[in-house]
Amino acid sequence: MISIGGAIGTGLFLLSGEAVSLGGAGSAVCSYIFMGIVVYLLMSFLGEMATTLPLSGSFETYASAYVDPALGFALGWNYWLMSIATVTAEIVAGSIIVSFWLPDANAVCWSLLFLSLIFILNAFSARVYGESEFWFAGIKVFTIIIFIITGVLMIFGIIGGEAPGFSNICMIDNESGKAGPFIGGMSSFLTVLFIAGWSFAGTELIGITAGESENPAVNIPKATRAVFWRILAFYVCTIIVISFFIPFNDPNLLKTNTTDIAYSPFTMIFYRAGMAFAASFMNAIILTSVLSAGNSLMYASTRMLYAMACEGKAPKILAAVNRFSVPFWALLFNTLVACTAFFSSTIGSGHIYTLLVNISGVTTFIAWFGIALCHYRFRKAYVLQGYSLERLPYRSRFYPYGQIAAMVVTVGLIFFANMWIFEEENFTWFTFLSNYGIIPLFIGMYALYKKKYKTRWVAYKDIDFSRIHMKGKPL
């Protein structure tokens, strides 16, 4: 439920409409299926490593142990940046969403309220965080199930008037000459892939939570298997329903990259089903969604700081825990950084939100690349040192081709999915830096740490498996 809650959010509730408008129904469905498969591979890689060595802030430790301490340093701070940028973005989004009901509401006051709530949920034991995230995720799952059922009834004409059939999927736009279900060419398809990938961001929380979960050798594999099919079914079924009822040239779909809930595909379809309260209902759901994402990523960023502090890659004080075993100083530091959301009222909420979302997207794909690389080297070293794969508590499939494919896809998305910004009518330095500025920052962190500490890639024969437990017994 934590992984589902971390993944399902504004990417599905709002940006799914933009995916259909940019690439057509066919591109949208294929993109979500394709990225769902990539996410399954990444989940299985992380699941194997997390069950053999369950840790809080696992990415940084795995990269340091299996690849290079410099990569661990860069990946750790990269994931922290992604997490805290998402927390801040969700706080900004929450304050904007409230303006649907209260147009004159003070954004700073609402941001402070939401940040305080997230801080409180994370300041106590991991059980409090887990329980709150379970209910947050439950609300989202319930909404999507109702949406899919409503959509199926509309497809057969049981509710909502005449069923459109395949007319919207295969329609031709006389003005632009574009015809569904595939439109926009390769550039649009890559952009839709980026949107789909960003919509799945958060599933990697399984690795972060492994260090504090009960019996990870049993529960993490079960979660890994279950989450993929549930998320893929939710996303693909949702995209299919949207494609049936909203044509790709509907002007309202182009407005779903804003925070105007009236243009959410969910709102439009619920409204067509005769639910007059659809906008207010979806506004409330999306508000809980952004709070859920903020809650999850505050947890993740806190554990990542804790792990790096324990490894000496962040100030030692951030490794201190309170009586609930929560890294309190790391949590407090993250909360202070998230206070930058309060400046959105002076700079402009839309600009701040766009900047933070772009940072979050690129850093997510960098983290996914790191997961695939870590697992490739983990498995290869494990076999080369003579250990049997049968001793692994959970074993992922498709080695080594799955890891190589995942690395190629994530690198491709990092560099090529946002090529649209180089078109003359789209280019600004703001869009360029917000989409590509994080790449030299990541490379710079890696290079500076490597130069300062003169680190080397860990040889396969030198990878230490002494900390790993196989099926409950020391290796």
Task: For residue 335, give the amino acid letter.
Answer: T
Task: For residue 138, give the amino acid letter.
Answer: G
How far is Cα 157 from Cα 163, in angstroms, rounded to an integer? 5
Every domain of the chain and the residues it spans: 2-453
CA distances from 468 to 40, 47, 61, 65 (A): 23, 14, 13, 12
Give pLDDT tens digits for 223-239.
777 777 777 788 888 88
Instruction: Report yes or no: 268 and 160 within 8 Å, Cβ to Cβ.
Output: no
State both tokens at 155: 């497809």
Task: For residue 344, give the amino acid letter.
Answer: S
Question: Which helix (H) or strand (E) element contains residue 474?
Answer: strand 473-474
**Short-list 186, 139, 201, CA closest to 356:** 201
- Phi-psi map region of 260: left, alpha, beta (phi>0 left; psi -120 to 50 alpha): beta
pLDDT of 429? 80
Does residue 175 or residue 417 have the better pLDDT? Answer: 417
Residues contacting 38, CB < 8 A, separation 6+: 197, 368, 405, 406, 409, 410
CA distances from 355 to 37, 277, 341 (A): 28, 32, 12
How far is Cα 391 from Cα 374, in angstroms, rounded to an integer? 19
Sole residue written with tokens 């099926």: 471
The topology (CATH level 3) of 2-453 is: Amino acid/polyamine transporter I (1.20.1740)
Give pLDDT tens digits for 288-315.
887 888 888 898 889 889 989 988 899 9
Is residue 72 pLDDT above 90, yes or no? yes
How far is Cα 212 from Cα 129, in angstroms, rounded to an integer? 11
Q: What are phi and psi for residue 274, nearest 5 degrees? A: 95, 15
> HEC states along 328-373?
HHHHHHHHHHHHHHHHHHHHCHHHHHHHHHHHHHHHHHHHHHHHHH
What's this model's pTM, rounded to 2 decimal places?
0.87
Task: For residue 33, give the amino acid letter.
Answer: I
Give pLDDT tens digits for 91-112.
877 887 787 788 887 878 888 8
pLDDT of 268? 79
Give pLDDT tens digits for 338-356.
887 676 555 555 566 677 7
Instruction: Report yes or no: 54 and 208 within 8 Å, Cβ to Cβ.
Output: no
